Chain A
Amino acid sequence: MPAFVLHVNGTAKSVTVSDPDEPLLYVLRNKLRLTGPKFGCGLAQCGACTVLIDGATARSCTLPVSAAAGRKITTIEGLGTPEKPHPVQAAFIAEQAAQCGYCANGMVMAVVALLESKRNPSPEEVKAALADNLCRCGTHRRILRAAMRAATSA
């Protein structure tokens, strides 16, 4: 069975899979028990499964684990904890920017990636950066506020 070394949240992890095309999402969730990234569509359409690979957002539901091996993977668990949240997560908490929260993983990861590449985005730029991240509960306004709060507090 194929084995890969994944560099996840600063630690090298060895995983064995029966299929090298297994999407990274399932490896993270089931083999490494990192359940922050969510299964939303399996089609790279909604963003719930977003992780960072070498600092850029990636849809882990369609990315084969073989393609992620050897690269720097960051999941939402690697950012912060409820007790010690990352500044973007702290902004989401301050704005109470989650209802059901199922999309929150993708929202947080997309905002983190945006702010790494652009320190002071305009509200329109934040909207554009999140255009492919879907939210069904209607938390968009708070997510936008959280992104702007994180941008100004960074």
Chain B
Amino acid sequence: MSAELTRREFLLSGGALVVGLALPESAAAQRASGTEASIAKTLDSGEVDAFLAVRADGTVVVYCGKVDLGQGLRVAVPQMAAEELGVALERILLVEGDTALTPDQGPTGGSTGITRGGVQVRQAAATARVALLRTAAERMGKAAGELEIVDGMARPKSGGAGIAIGELVRDGRFDLKLDPKAKLKDPAHYTIVGKPLPRPDVPGKVTGRHVYIQDLVVEGMLHARVIRPPSVGAKLVEVDENSLKSIPGARIVRRESFLAVVADDEWDAIRAAGALKPRWSESASLIGQSAVRSWMRAGPFDGEEFLVRKGDAKQTLGAAAKRLAAEYYWPMQSHASMGPSCAVADVRDGKATVWSASQATHRFRETCARLLGLAPAAVRVIYVDGSGCYGMNGHDDAAADAALISAVVQRPVRVQWTREDEHGWDPKGPPQLLALEGTLDASGGIAAWRTEMWLPKATANLPNMPLLGPAAAGIGQPVGITTGLISQNGNPPYAAANVEVLVHWLKDSPLRPSNIRAPGKVANGFAVESFTDELAAEAKRDGLEFRLAGLTDPRGIEVLKRTAKLIDWQSRPAPGPGGVGRGIAYLHYKNNETYVATAIEAEVDRVSGMIRVRRVACAHDCGLVINPDALRQQIEGCILQTLSRTLHEEVAFDRMRVTSVDWKSYPILTFPEVPEIAIELIDRPAEPPLGAGEAATTTVAAALANAVFDACGVRLRTVPFTRERVKAAAA
């Protein structure tokens, strides 16, 4: 193998158990050996060698462009590779998201880690297994079909001596095209995939030894703080360097309106940031939180688009004796990562190394090269775990900050954002407005359905979201916005002869947007599945029975039925007799991926407006299950995080700035609010493995809104369901 990696480098890249004190050395070692010239490993995702290297000792290095942001890929992807190759899981070393070592498998987002990233690695492993068996067969004078690989040994199926795979690939290379048709192992024979194996990073994480980007120390690095402007778009007029005189080693880095301080010591950098008295020219460039809804209706627009047109929904609705109509709103939300964004960059001698928790190291490499005026080949971006991000938070911004400052000071630089920076400046989940209309047929089914959506339009082929540092520094960037795929699942998944889904594309978003967990679908699911309940109530039918009657997909039917059973669903129309309410919701993610249903039991105190979520049940079908425990954890996270978003979260901002800049002004779910959760996994070994990082978020808000309606007859159509809002609606 030409890429010589030390054990330490693997530990750093793979985020396994690293002793904190060893890290500076490790990081330095990585830098020393990390120049592009010393690494001849292919990154071509059409080659097996891009994904796998078998070392002489039989360990297998898996190179994965997708990264573990806390969602468990660090065990699941090695499970897939180990299973397909026939080696023990302990023999797999995983390298994640290092642009010098891993193939570009696209950003880790959109719930594609397993379904695209893992599946690609699995196919490379299947190709490798065929090649290994062929080589072993030649050596042993047998037919490849008579051999199998078990525990890293190629041996006759009938028993007897074998050859270790490390001996079959002497130089570590396969020199083999990835065969998309290489036969996969029969799931009936799986011994590793499907097992609830523990995640390798948990022991380090709960003993304080796991190294996060915030903990990374690169030899000789300076600590930096970026001074963000007091309002969005403010320009720096002047700054007095003398204000830093009393702080040892502190100095200013300025490029146009990009302002930072650096110091040898972190606390000195923090003090310096506080001591600076820059003068800014400010303007009220924002529309302000209270104007968002009316702004969404008014535009400016960038066209409209029919996403679904079946039958004639408009005419049917127009002719209907009774028609239901309702408007739903999902506000802007923050990723609200527990740890503010951080990055380390070393930009010197025409080269750049950036350590970042980016969910898209390969994409950021191009971005970073552009802003530094370097060739992409001169830039290496290495993924290091950060605090969970759930989409694009401030990680890339922080990495750009660090790169800009390092290029000026010619030293490695660590940039650590503050809490105010993260809440104030992370790109926000865009707002969503939906107006729904529906009418029933004579048998109480859906006769016609219309969804109109008002959504910010993502800029086509935008190479990267415009970043804060380069924007302030006056460095040209591609212009546009990014949102993720936010218009999916605006259609009802139930039988209806006449359906129309129309989106009005807004030209912009009130604050810089980005993808946030289950982009768009979390709000579309809220609207569609709440409105489904409104139609069921209008028909005086039980919400579960109404849904089942409109479904033909057996996998959809199964998740609904199992969810109902988990929560002891009693069939009756809503609202119920009062007190405790229950609601259910269903969604087929992106209309062609994971099936999920969620039921919630909740109490509502009409006087205080407080909603108490008592129990949540969820049945989940994402095809083949790779690691059931890691999967359950993702579903638990989807449920609790979305309860938080539904009950509490809305970014507050005025005409100048975001004003919800800490955990008091942007509260999230706390322990006393945490409900019981029951989850049922439906494993389908014969089906492809689908994503699980997002699907179970999409049914939570509607299930809760439906439970609230069932409990007290109040229909909540605006998120978050704050006490004030519930009180006002119940009055």
A18, A127, A141: the one contacting B672 at CB < 8 Å is A127
B141 to chain A, nearest CB (A): 46
* Chain B residue at minimal CB-CB distance from A35: B215
CB-CB < 8 A to B206: which residues of A? 76, 85, 89, 92-93, 97-98, 101, 104, 108
B662 close to A41 (CB less than 8 A) = yes
* Chain A residue at minimal CB-CB distance from B206: A92
B208, B267, B641, B670: the one contacting A105 at CB < 8 Å is B208
B671 to chain A, nearest CB (A): 4
CB-CB < 8 A to B668: which residues of A? 134, 136
- What is the CA–CA distance of A132 and B207 in the complex, to the nearest angstrom? 21
- What is the CA–CA distance of A127 and B673 in the complex, to the nearest angstrom? 9
A39 close to B641 (CB less than 8 A) = no
Is B69 interfacial (CB-CB < 8 Å)? yes
Q: For window 89-130 of chain A, which residues contact chain B by CB distance below 8 Å?
A: 89, 92-93, 96-105, 108, 126-128, 130
Instruction: Determine chain A's interface SS by DSSP, over half rule.
Output: loop
Is B140 interfacial (CB-CB < 8 Å)? no
Q: For window 200-234 of chain B, which residues contact chain A by CB distance below 8 Å?
A: 201-212, 214-215, 217
CB-CB < 8 A to A41: which residues of B? 419, 662-663
Number of interface residues of B (CB under 8 A): 65
- What is the CA–CA distance of A138 and B21 in the complex, to the nearest angstrom? 30
CB-CB < 8 A to A101: which residues of B? 70, 201-202, 205-206, 210, 385
Is B304 interfacial (CB-CB < 8 Å)? no
- What is the CA–CA distance of A6 and B641 in the complex, to the nearest angstrom? 38
A144 close to B388 (CB less than 8 A) = no
Is A43 interfacial (CB-CB < 8 Å)? yes
Known contacts A43-B419, A76-B207, A77-B207; is A92 also within 8 Å of B674 by CB? no
Q: For window 654-688 of chain B, which residues contact chain A by CB distance below 8 Å?
A: 662-664, 668-672, 674, 677
Is B558 interfacial (CB-CB < 8 Å)? no
A100 close to B388 (CB less than 8 A) = yes
Is B199 interfacial (CB-CB < 8 Å)? yes
Q: Kindly specify which of B37-45, B305-313, B334-342 makes contact with the partner chain.
A: B334-342
Is B633 interfacial (CB-CB < 8 Å)? yes
CB-CB < 8 A to B270: which residues of A? 26
18 contacts between A and B (CB under 8 A): A34-B208, A45-B663, A76-B207, A79-B207, A86-B207, A89-B206, A92-B206, A93-B198, A93-B203, A98-B202, A98-B205, A101-B202, A103-B338, A131-B671, A138-B638, A138-B640, A142-B636, A144-B671
Interface of A with B (CB < 8 Å)? 17-19, 22-23, 26, 29-30, 33-43, 45-46, 48, 75-77, 79-82, 85-86, 89, 92-93, 96-105, 108, 126-128, 130-144
Q: A38-B214, A82-B207, A138-B641 are in contact. List 9 more A-B contacts (CB 8 A).
A: A18-B267, A18-B268, A33-B217, A37-B208, A40-B387, A76-B208, A92-B202, A136-B388, A139-B637
